[in-house]
Amino acid sequence: MKHFLVFGTHPDLSLAEAKAVLGDIQPILSGPGAICAVQDWDGAVLQNRLAGTIKLGDIIFSIPVTQLTAVQLADFIDQHPRADRILFGLTVHGGSPTKRKTLKNLPIQLKRELQSRGKSVRWITGEKGEIAGAAISKMHLDTEGYDLNVFIHGDDASVGMTTHVQNIDAWSERDFGRPFRDAKTGMLPPKLARIMLNLSRPHGVLLDPFCGGGTVLMEAGMLFPELKLIGSDIDAKQVAGAMRNNEWLVAHNFLRTEDLARTQWIVSPVQKIDSHIHESINTIVTEGYLGKPLNGHETQLQLDQNKRDVEAVWNDSLPILSELQPAGSRLVCIWPSMKSAHGVAHVNCLPKAEASGYVLLAEYGYARPDQNIRRNIIILEKKG
């Protein structure tokens, strides 16, 4: 059976995350979505794990775009009754403007077709004709209604029905509800932390050598109960805050009490971390130092100095971290790009990484339009 995933605001990064979790899939891409054939598909487990996927579900049939009609969709709903009153959403993904135009009136046609069959119907839609994941959950379209998705690829259209939606409330609670948050040192979004973890394909012992408030370790603790976790930071205040955040996870039922024993905490600069760790580190996932906070008015000279400061930290750290990792291990980190009204500066530590025994596997960007920092997610692997 074929399934689909609909990605969030960074589809390339989300697709890479999905491939890291699902294996060597050959997806059909359609707009911000992907269709794939996966045998061991567990929608609930995947939706919980994939931070970059806002919803997913099953493909119910495929047909040439020009032959898709509201009657076919109404027949499917008739054959799969859920409630006396039918609530549905319908989103079209991908395709050329011409092909999308042929389906412009499909939702209202479906509503009228269902009404002609004596059904009480409500069409749920958003400002741009799309329906947000939060609305799908609020209206229970994934359980009691129908969230239909039409994916145009070439001359064909695949119709899917959403089975699971991202839990926005849980993500928000872990981001804004945790007791320790330090805006001055930067706050890694939990979603991005989880994406980085999935890209790392972690096993054995996982280290965050710049743990800050512990976002990476919070997500790793929930997602990978088999891992031993190590969090380290030069700032004792940050380590204490990370420990508080982990205890908060237990209090709010995100973690079990026994999970706390899996995490070792270290106060140390990275340059001396090897004196505290006496085992191989299979996986390193960390945001690292992003430089001084920016206000958007820095001169090019200031941006360049910020860039050099970040590179100095990484150039000192990479040889130490490499010594901790066996061949084939991954290091997933962030090397930022900085911008202001007067220029840009890009951190690049690849020469030092390669000299330390790493090879670059991939790089992905993560940024919001209103931010002066672009987080470039770097995936390195220790050479054999």
Q: What is the pLDDT of residues 117-158, one digit of tens each?
A: 999 999 999 877 778 888 999 999 999 999 999 999 999 999
Answer for the pair 230, 282: CB distance below 8 angstroms, yes or no: no
Task: Give the tens place of pLDDT for each residue, 48-107.
Answer: 999 999 999 999 999 999 999 999 999 999 999 999 999 999 999 999 999 999 999 999
Pick the CATH number of 170-382 from 2.70.98.30, 3.40.50.300, 3.40.50.150, 3.30.830.10: 3.40.50.150
Task: Give the tens place of pLDDT for each residue, 186-235.
Answer: 689 999 999 999 999 999 999 999 999 999 999 999 999 999 999 999 99
Q: Which of 197, 208, 183, 325 is nearest to 264 (CA)?
A: 208
Name the residue with tokens 């009228």: 112
Answer for the pair 209, 284: CB distance below 8 angstroms, yes or no: yes
Ordered by start, the domain boundaries in the chain are 2-166, 170-382
pLDDT of residue 146: 97
Q: Could you give the percent of the chain with pLDDT greater than 70?
A: 98
**Domains 2-166 and 170-382 are alike in CATH topology:** no
Average pLDDT in the 305-331 region? 98
Pick the CATH number of 2-166 from 3.10.350, 3.30.2130, 1.10.1060, 1.10.150: 3.30.2130
Structure tokens at 156: 């064909």
288 dihedral zone (left: phi>0; alpha: psi -120 to 50; beta): left
Name the residue with tokens 């090019």: 300
Q: Give Cα separations from 300 to 198, 338, 343, 370 (angstroms).
A: 35, 10, 5, 19
Q: Could you give the CA distance from residue 360 to residue 350 in angstroms, rounded to a whole number?
A: 8
- Of the listed ranges 7-21, 130-144, 312-326, the least confidently predicted one is 130-144
